[in-house]
Amino acid sequence: MKKNINKLENNLGFKITNLELYVKAMTHKSADKINNYEKLEFLGDRVLGLCISKKLLEVFPHEREGILDKKLASLVNKNKCYEIGKQLKLDKFVKIGNLTLKKQIVEKKIVSDSCEALIGAIYLDKGFEFVEKFILKNWNKHINDKNIIIIDAKTKLQEYSLKKFKILPIYKFISDTGPKHMPNFKVAVKLKNTLFVEAEGSSKKLAQQAAATKLLKLIDKV
């Protein structure tokens, strides 16, 4: 990482002051269990959310809160952070301890997490105004897109579970009833700290979406 500092600076578009912050932001826990990007990711997630929320209020001053919330979710989710992370070629700089994983393409979640960690590092290194300009430079075309990408309930529940518990939600198939032309599927889903919540649908996918929606409402994340 330290050897590639000039390449990283070129990708980011600025000179780094506190190198150790960026080394940590690009270090996966498999490479270092203590000095890794997890805490910077936590910080960067909050900084990103604040900057994007502030900009959305400026761009869409008359929009309803519910629409702004959906727009925000589409701009700060793991898929969008992965997209920005790939644009910045962060996958070329992430330090991973697993040799097998090193030989493969760095997985999507790691690139996404390192992008948020990078934002946390920039905030600590350069301050709020600087990191805000960096975020808006990289997210601007997405912010000004008036099309809202609504994140489905199953994806939203998955992102919440990964962020809070580092594990995926657990889905359980319960039953498949009804005639072939009108099937009825029942599934259940739970998080690490919840009981199973059941829901039904005309397909297994729809039942899973219904169960995820129900659980999100219970934990007040809709």
Place of tokens 């007040």: 220
Q: 111 burial class (0-12, 13-18, 19+ CB within 10 angstroms)?
A: buried
Q: 52 burial class (0-12, 13-18, 19+ CB within 10 angstroms)?
A: buried
Q: Describe the strand order of the beta sheet including 197-201 as a list of residue ranges.
A: 170-177, 184-190, 197-201
Contact 65, 73 (CB under 8 A): no
Q: Which helix (H) or strand (E) holds 22?
A: helix 19-25
Catalytic residues: 45, 116
Angle, CA of 184, 190 and 191, to the nearest 5°: 155
User: In whole angstroms, what is the distance from residue 57 CA to residue 88 CA?
Assistant: 26
Cβ contacts of 167 within 8 Å, gap of 6 or more? 161, 192
Assign 3-class secondary structure to 34-96.
CCCCHHHHHHHHHHHHHHHHHHHHHHCCCCCHHHHHHHHHHHHCHHHHHHHHHHCCHHHCCEC
Helices within 127-152 (DSSP H only): 128-143
